[in-house]
Structure 1
């Protein structure tokens, strides 16, 4: 594949320009913010590098699209994709970042931070023993790179980590991996549920009443995609305490509207899609490595299966 003209569209385009241009002097680049992007730019380009563009663009005119994020649903979900166009994604420290994000909120729960903070406000000295992470069962939806890193971190601390995937294929660090259709009987055993799945037709509204109704005061963490959760079903599960608390980093509509009831729910923690941020250095490094592999006709470990959506 001959890639000469590369269009990079990102809010951090200036930082990326400083990191990329000097490393690929044999290529011609255009670095622009989305508000300055034109169809002429896309017609000029052999490759587009971007992530979460707000408008719908015609990507069929380029040879290669590279996502600066791990997810690619903005390019694929409910859209037609020209199979002749290569799609790749960024692989960097996302797994480690997300694993530490999840660990922080689960440790907060196990160490009773909220209870002791409330007791402090009332000057109430009342001992209560925190729980151990090694006594917990954690269920991770999605057993890819990110899910495996979560499993590695939590199993390393002694937790029993189970996975749910389309294939049910056994993966390292998981105590067991189940297919979605056969995992429901294990749900009421789980202390924590972590969602890492990408957004596809199969995962849209995956977390609905069928799943939530099987839980027993479990913690729910969503670091996958917001549209994979039925918010009404989640709110109902919180009311019924089938879900003890929810930590939500992603939402179907972002920014989350001010009138959304999740903002004010006492057992919901909201973060603004920061569990796996692409830094300029990491984004540039993965792009340059992918470009080098394309130029040298080497295998691409970050190539997206556009039929599967990840």
Structure 2
């Protein structure tokens, strides 16, 4: 194809979920409520950890990072999605599309590495509890968190750069809810097999490698738990990992289904998976850690008790 026909587009049109106005209004209300719950839940988790000194531990340091990632990921996608539900012309500029792709990929990658780091933290807590404080010291926790953020950002920068070097010709209709990498690659008017291979390779490095580390950690954790003599001891040890294990299953499962085999999911499945990551997972994570974690529930009760006492004093 000649270069004269490879016209670079200046903006894109997002086709979204539905063209029916009533459906779009209903979805706007639903996703707005879910987004508000997501923001409130994660911000409260961060605030709770900040205020309660008992939660100033490596586990909750990483949970703070996870909440910040969830809030940022949802914010990179949902506000634009909500605006487009009520807009007649659902356009997004090339620059905004590139920024959205970068942040969504970066934050997704950060979360996968961060979950592996949290699994290592649980491994040390269960398998080597006497040396936990010595191993998981502040400097190591900071380095592990920085590694998560840097690795996800570098991977995203690479994919964003090579994706937007593809000539899109006159294709400007993205059949998706946001500027997602697979949807953008489908617009290119050149062979994109190298891009698809790059996605698979980076998925193995940034998705499967952390997943293998998570599985290895939990194999060791389960082996250690089974050696505990008392039933109460086994229950308590497993309970410390249950919340993290639930989040791991939610996050890694959908990502493997989407990116290890890029041609497998249908367009509708891709949209639903993106909604899952953008809205449902960030909303569920603080709930999972609040409902299944005794320390967090205890901190909530303590904070509410203090708040109610302060309210009573102000009322009198």
Q: In which range does the TM-score fall when normalised by the shorter chain? A: under 0.3
Larger % of strand: which? 1
Report the TM-score, using the length of structure 1 for normalisation. 0.26
Higher relative contact order by CA 8 Å / sep ≥ 6: 1 or 2? 2
Report the structure, 1 or 2, having the larger helix content: 2
- TM-score normalised over the length of structure 2: 0.26
